[in-house]
Amino acid sequence: MTAQIIDGTAIALKVRNEVKEKVAARIAAGKSQPALATVLVGERIDSATYVSMKQKACAELGMTSYHKPLPADISQEDLEKLIKELNADPKVNGILVQLPLPSHLDEERVLQLISIEKDVDGFSPINLGRLAQKGREPLFVPCTPYGCIYLLKEAGVTIKGANAVVLGRSNIVGMPAALLLVKEDATVTVVHSRTKDIPAVMKNADIIIAAIGRAQMVRGDWIKPGAAVIDVGINGIPVLDDKGNPVISEKTGKPKQKLVGDVNYDEAKEVAGFITPVPGGVGPMTIAMLMANTLRAAEIQDK
Ligand code: GUN
């Protein structure tokens, strides 16, 4: 069997175009332009890149973004002061604090300070608590897990009643993905570093969401034939030549790297029914869902 490839780039573009049309329609109707505040503490290159992609997406979709770069040594007090200002600012619809924060800052206190109506990342304890409770609905769902579920639905995968395995229990992806799958009536197992015999646990999975941060960990023979595999991993590994030696880039003089997921794609695609590639799978969905959440924040605040 060769898996159907779930094209995250195309699906994310569709979501972005829908958001763009809705933003244009609300502005034509005399409503405000949705606005996202991005808070970046310090100068981590990966975080700065993600934040600039989020700002660029806002501009492309007709939304405003206010960027708040802060020094790595900012105090907890000053960061909290900024969050309170953004909560009170009627021009700001969504607040995104890029994670991780430097270790001297108390992430939990910062996230719980964000007003739930502006919590477009869905990380505030109230939104996450609602996600974990039966009969309650969060205002916002964390963007990457939301993107994973969206991809499954677009591919026509039945979630209700399915056995789902989530690899990884991070606050950003694994745990909220597991909670979302439960809300969608899947039977969910969360696999983590202390799980005994992971391949045995995975054997019965109709849906796999891999977000454990270990390059190509999931092997083809762990996967149930026909399963849907959503690979959240983004890992850099060296490119090797025929003899297994690292290939050196002529440009940089350093070993060439390539991006791979948490799933061994070449093996998995021969067994799975559906699979997301890396890159071009879940990655583009995170920003698309953030844009959808920011529009939703503006709509909630219209009322
Ligand atoms: N760091 C890695 N992923 C995310 C995300 O989705 N949102 C935020 N705020 N920080 C992140």
For residues 170-183, average pLDDT: 98
Half-sphere exposure of 29 (CA within 13 A, CB side): 9
Predicted confidence at residue 71, as pLDDT, reads 98
CA 253 – ligand 1 centroid, Å? 32
Which fold would CATH assign to domain 30-116?
A: Rossmann fold (3.40.50)
Distance, CA of 11 to CA of 142 (rounded, Å): 18
- 3-state SS track over the chain: CCCEECCHHHHHHHHHHHHHHHHHHHHHCCCCCCEEEEEEECCCHHHHHHHHHHHHHHHHCCCEEEEEEECCCCCHHHHHHHHHHHHHCCCCCEEEECCCCCCCCCHHHHHHHCCHHHCCCCCCHHHHHHHHCCCCCCCCCCHHHHHHHHHHHHCCCCCCCCEEEEECCCCCCHHHHHHHHHHCCCEEEEECCCCCCHHHHHCCCCEEEECCCCCCCECHHHCCCCCEEEECCCEEEECECCCCCECECCCCCCECEEEECCECHHHHCCCCCEECCCCCCCHHHHHHHHHHHHHHHHHHHHC
* pLDDT mean over 148-173: 98
Say if residue 169 carries a ligand binding annotation.
Answer: yes
> Does the structure show a pLDDT above 90 at 59?
yes
* pLDDT score for 101: 98
The answer, yes or no, to whether any atom of ligand 1 lies below 6 A from the CB of 152, is no
Please state, in angstroms and rounded to a whole number, the distance separating the CA atoms of residues 137 and 193. Answer: 30
Which of 38, 39, 79, 121 to mutate to test ligand 1, by most ligand atoms within 8 A of the CB atom?
121
Condensed to tens digits (0 to 9), the pLDDT of residues 274-290 reads: 999 999 999 999 999 99
96 CB under 6 A from ligand 1?
Answer: yes
User: Which atom of ligand 1 lies nearest, measured to the CA of 142?
Assistant: 6
What is the CA 215 to chain-centroid distance, rounded?
Answer: 18
Residue pLDDT, tens place only, 226-272: 999 999 999 999 999 999 999 999 989 999 999 999 999 999 999 99
pLDDT tens, 5-20?
Answer: 999 999 999 999 999 9
**Share above pLDDT 90 across residues of the chain, in percent, rounded to a whole number:** 98
Residue 136 reports pLDDT greater than 90:
yes
Q: Specify the pLDDT at position 286.
A: 98
Cα of 150 vs centre of ligand 1, distance in Å, is 18
- The band of 192, judged by pLDDT with boundaries at 50, 70 and 90, is very high
pTM for the full predicted model: 0.96
Give the mean pLDDT of the chain: 97
- Whether pLDDT at 1 is above 90: no
Q: Domain map of the chain by residue range?
A: 30-116, 143-284
- Residue 66: per-residue pLDDT: 98
Please write the tens of the pLDDT for every residue from 199-231.
Answer: 999 999 999 999 999 999 999 999 999 999 999
pLDDT band at 303 (very low <50, low <70, confident <90, very high): confident
Question: 124 CB less than 6 Å from ligand 1?
Answer: no
Q: Do domains 30-116 and 143-284 have the same CATH topology?
A: yes
Annotated ligand binding at 26? The verdict is no
Q: Is 144's C-beta closer than 6 angstroms to any atom of ligand 1?
A: yes
Please identify, in words, the CATH class of the domain defined by 143-284. Answer: alpha beta
